[in-house]
Chain A
């Protein structure tokens, strides 16, 4: 079972108290973008074995959206952080690097 700490209220939530929001840090391509870009935005997702970044919502609690960095193999959680950022904070990246020095995810490392 996954336990994530909500960065807004600080509660360690069980997976069943949260709503999953899919992959994190997706750039929206709307009107005026090419078909290729729109397809990427709408359909192309990572399916990593290892480090992954996701969006979650604290649905049975404070109701806030947040981001989580975790490992899809070991279920280890590297950290949770605010929803109002375009990429993970350095502290979260450092936490991952400490465990997996050569990780990468969609151009991040």
Chain B
């Protein structure tokens, strides 16, 4: 059995926010009609989370449901349960038009911790997204770009943000965040 690794195992940086590689996370892309009862039920059953409203990420620890687009959902589960969860979804949605794919190893997840203002500032240096509280409240997912690559991030709490990017650009994204969080680079805008 191969030894599966996250994109940047153990990567960490302590600047004015603390950056960590979140380790292995189970992620399943689920596409289909998000208004369909079967899909909503299957997604809720597999994670135990409330079905998210548009743009929301309902997550606790390793499990969650993230609304990615009007027909796409990202299902978060613990990494070693991804295969079981995928099999469950496919069985539950047999006959319903849908697509479920395990993308766990195609993505990288980073966590950012620190003061709310520092977190928002670090991301605001790199993304065109409006990072004010009012525009991006806690629990709302924002798909956007970080410098030159697509990412999605959300605030789990005021002092804890999660960021998902493609695995192939994990090193680039971590480098960007590291530079933006460098001690002495505080702006104090938020």
Residues of A with Cβ closer than 8 Å to B?
8-14, 16-17, 60-64
Which listed residue (B69, B128, B135, B145) contacts A62, Cβ 8 A? B69
In angstroms, Cα B9 to Cα A56, docked, is 38
Q: Chain B: which residue is nearest A63 at the CB level?
A: B69
23 of the cross-chain contacts (CB-CB < 8 Å) are A8-B70, A9-B54, A9-B69, A9-B70, A11-B55, A11-B142, A12-B130, A13-B144, A14-B129, A16-B145, A17-B128, A17-B129, A17-B144, A17-B145, A60-B145, A60-B150, A61-B69, A62-B68, A62-B72, A62-B143, A63-B69, A64-B69, A64-B70
Which listed residue (B68, B70, B130, B144) contacts A60, Cβ 8 A? B144
Pick the 4 closest A-B CB pairs, nearest first.
Answer: A62-B69, A14-B128, A61-B143, A60-B145
Knowing A8-B69, A14-B128, say if A60 contacts B143 (CB, 8 Å).
Answer: yes
Other than the given A9-B69, A11-B55, A62-B70, 17 more pairs (CB < 8 A) read: A8-B69, A9-B55, A9-B70, A10-B54, A12-B130, A12-B135, A13-B128, A14-B128, A16-B128, A17-B129, A17-B144, A60-B144, A60-B150, A61-B143, A62-B72, A64-B69, A64-B70
Determine how close the nearest CB of chain B comes to the CB of A5; give it in whole angstroms.
12
Q: Which residues from chain B contact A13 at a C-beta distance below 8 Å?
A: 128, 144
Residues of B with Cβ closer than 8 Å to A?
54-55, 68-70, 72, 128-130, 135, 142-145, 150
In angstroms, Cα B68 to Cα A63, docked, is 10
Q: Which residues from chain B contact A17 at a C-beta distance below 8 Å?
A: 128-129, 144-145
In angstroms, Cα B54 to Cα A62, docked, is 11
Determine how close the nearest CB of chain A comes to the CB of B153; give it in whole angstroms.
12
Determine how close the nearest CB of chain B comes to the CB of A67; give it in whole angstroms.
16
Is A10 a contact of B130 with CB atoms below 8 Å?
A: no
In angstroms, Cα B129 to Cα A63, docked, is 16
Determine how close the nearest CB of chain B comes to the CB of A63; give it in whole angstroms.
6
Q: Chain A: which residue is nearest B68 at the CB level?
A: A62
In angstroms, Cα B70 to Cα A94, docked, is 27
Q: Chain A: which residue is nearest B152 at the CB level?
A: A61
Q: Which residues from chain B contact A63 at a C-beta distance below 8 Å?
A: 69
Q: Which residues from chain A contact B130 at a C-beta distance below 8 Å?
A: 12
In angstroms, Cα B135 to Cα A1, docked, is 18
Q: Which residues from chain A contact B142 at a C-beta distance below 8 Å?
A: 11
Q: Chain A: which residue is nearest B146 at the CB level?
A: A60
In angstroms, Cα B66 to Cα A61, docked, is 13
In angstroms, Cα B70 to Cα A64, docked, is 9
Q: Which residues from chain B contact A62 at a C-beta distance below 8 Å?
A: 68-70, 72, 143
